[in-house]
Structure 1
């Protein structure tokens, strides 16, 4: 192949230079850009993540098993597993793979259009990981990732665009309107750290270059307080610590944005901040159950760390026990555990071998009846006798279609997370669900949900979207509260738990 037709590696692609002075920014959602997640791969990925729990000392972790599980998931094109596997290679957790292998894995994810892969490549250029260090290229990749909706890149660049807030001058990066939009876009996708940077922009109104336009008002202070509180729900340690200080011992009484000193509230925020400092993977979506913002009264609490964290964390019902399926009673390569079912994806291949590990079946319309079978990358597709366009029989290759494993639970509302991040609760009786436009009929923990094949299910059907709502309160709205192009009537809210906090 001649040099002029040779593929440019994703790491070497030409990207526009980072421009901090763009006039506007459009919020995209990362979850709408990534390949659908294979349910079996997700279980392998979550099992591997649980084995890296902060409670387990690094020297006691079984990194061989962690790498194996993560690689299994990555082979099914689980995008988070692909990037985690790259990190494990960089950390030296698999002696057979190193920085170059990590870069190639990230490039594979970039070819799949995964925004987080562009963010990771930017980090590699910033840190000289497998590529020659180049901070200019790093910012170009981060800009691309942010434009595609990656919340980490949005948060990073959004914070950089507040650079003029202290001493604005010619040539500085201050671009407050775009910084605000970037940070709000990141926060809407559950990136809690963005809330901490946003609260500075909310508490004092600023011109586009960062110049302060007067001091804070009661309205701007209330907005800053609320966004920090939302950040705690999304796992922001800095937000929890800031609120602990604001309520317990503010540095400046004249400019504090908490409405009054409240050491009891400060104590609870401080304990949540400590928990997030130890395990940044924690989320507290039901924070309002045990620590609502003023003027709501504080619910009773026994002062114990466990009861506070349990009340604020996400919940899930006991998993449904699946019934045996035809695939679960079959032998390999047709076997599939009863926990899963299969759904054709519409992705076809005419290649002689499987392009990646997955379940594959002959595409419909070819006169071939064959159940889906598990094929590893590079395994040959079977040939079949089929009729051609003239009605003559021929023996040869056929078109194959990938099948995704999905939960075999008939669409049950069962959010998933790494072990230990969710509290199991009994299913409410009777089951109760509501449309977005309704008022909350009963106080409790509510979970938003869309159909399993919805393009935004990966960002809606998440435990960190749960909310503790009181009777009569409105449900969150996708466009207004999550910045998602998602009609209200496509989201249903489900009651998950209506118990009061356990206070000993």
Structure 2
């Protein structure tokens, strides 16, 4: 439950125009992206991980304006998984740098630091302003966060739903589930069904589990699962398989981009399906590009970084 000041904030600015994050993001350097993708690959490998090595690649990429690398690096630093001479200062410097560049996610990150008092003086009022700015710029995480605040405020349902939907359309699985839940309670079953389908596509196993129940043809007295659907055993089976897959791979960020080729919504006829998932096929077949020593040296030299750590040469090694 949000505190009174957060609710006051929610009341203060109700107008919302949906903006997608991609419309305001800078282009990424292809060379920096090689380091970012290799870091991501290392981070998602099974077994023990060398987070200092992962942070090294993220640092060099972030120094070349790779905002995704900066976000991941901040997480490793702020959670203590990767070493730094001064983790909180390095984290805040990154966030401020990308805020100055207008990156929506940087506003969202800074909002959390202000909210928690991590690396900066705690300032809840300022954090709210950053959350709202991030939402207006297109951060789906911020849109979901502000919508959650609004869910406690009377007479704000239209704005709350608009924020949930905007975030859902950008791939936010939690927003899709909340959007669908709210519409179900209003008995807007077709829109709710589409929301759950979007949430499943975005990787929400809870929503696929719900649809597997709803397609069992539950009666209208079943307030939890009723969506005015006829019984469809094959759809039940497919949603159950999707749920199992998503639960197993949730920690890897699994999604179902090919959902409508597996289990499209009625009245579409179910196509043949071999039981496999596009996300896993692509992940299993992906071969990472290993950054060459020459590329690492080049990118490090351009920004005055130690290629062994990604830290500024003046900072010394962690």
Q: What TM bracket, shorter-length normalisation?
A: 0.7 to 0.9
Contact 2:184–2:192, Cα closer than 8 Å, also in 1:
yes
1:105-504 alignment, distance < 5 Å = 105-163=94-152, 172=153, 174-205=155-186, 216=187, 220-248=188-216, 253=221, 255=223, 256-280=226-250, 281-301=253-273, 307-310=275-278, 376-377=302-303
Contact 1:115–1:150, Cα closer than 8 Å, also in 2:
yes
Question: Which of the pair has the greater relative contact order for Cα pairs under 8 Å at 6+ separation?
Answer: 2
Q: How much has 1:26 moved relative to structure 2?
A: 1.1
| Consecutive unaligned residues in structure 1, runs of 5 or more | 1-16, 164-171, 206-215, 320-331, 338-356, 359-373, 380-504
Give the alignment's Cα RMSD to 1 decimal.
3.0
2:57 matches 1:69: yes
In structure 2, do the counterparts of structure 1 residues 261 and 142 end up closer, same or farther at CA, with 3 Å as the change threshold?
Answer: same
Q: Distance in 1 between matches of 2:240 and 2:212?
A: 5
Q: Distance in 1 between matches of 2:221 and 2:233?
A: 14
TM-score (norm: length of structure 2): 0.78
| Consecutive unaligned residues in structure 2, runs of 5 or more | 1-7, 287-292, 306-318
Contact 1:233–1:284, Cα closer than 8 Å, also in 2:
yes
In structure 2, do the counterparts of structure 1 residues 56 and 252 end up closer, same or farther at CA, with 3 Å as the change threshold?
Answer: farther
Q: Which has the higher helix share?
A: 2
In structure 2, do the counterparts of structure 1 residues 100 and 195 end up closer, same or farther at CA, with 3 Å as the change threshold?
Answer: same
Q: Distance in 2 between matches of 1:251 and 1:82?
A: 49
Q: Distance in 2 between matches of 1:140 and 1:109?
A: 16
Q: Distance in 2 between matches of 1:105 and 1:254?
A: 49
1:62-101 alignment, distance < 5 Å = 62-92=50-80, 93-101=82-90
Q: Deviations over 1:171-229 (max 9, x none)?
A: x3541111122122212222222111111332344xxxxxxxxxx2xxx2111111111
Q: Distance in 2 between matches of 1:94 and 1:85?
A: 11
In structure 2, do the counterparts of structure 1 residues 314 and 181 end up closer, same or farther at CA, with 3 Å as the change threshold?
Answer: farther
Contact 2:258–2:277, Cα closer than 8 Å, also in 1:
no
Q: Distance in 1 between matches of 2:174 and 2:270?
A: 25
SS at 1:376 equivalent = helix
Q: Distance in 2 between matches of 1:89 and 1:127?
A: 15
Contact 1:22–1:178, Cα closer than 8 Å, also in 2:
no
Which protein has the larger Cα radius of gyration, Structure 1 or Structure 2?
Answer: 1
Count, aligned residues: 285
Q: Distance in 1 between matches of 2:54 and 2:13?
A: 42
Q: How much has 1:283 moved relative to structure 2?
A: 1.8
Q: Distance in 1 between matches of 2:165 and 2:270?
A: 28
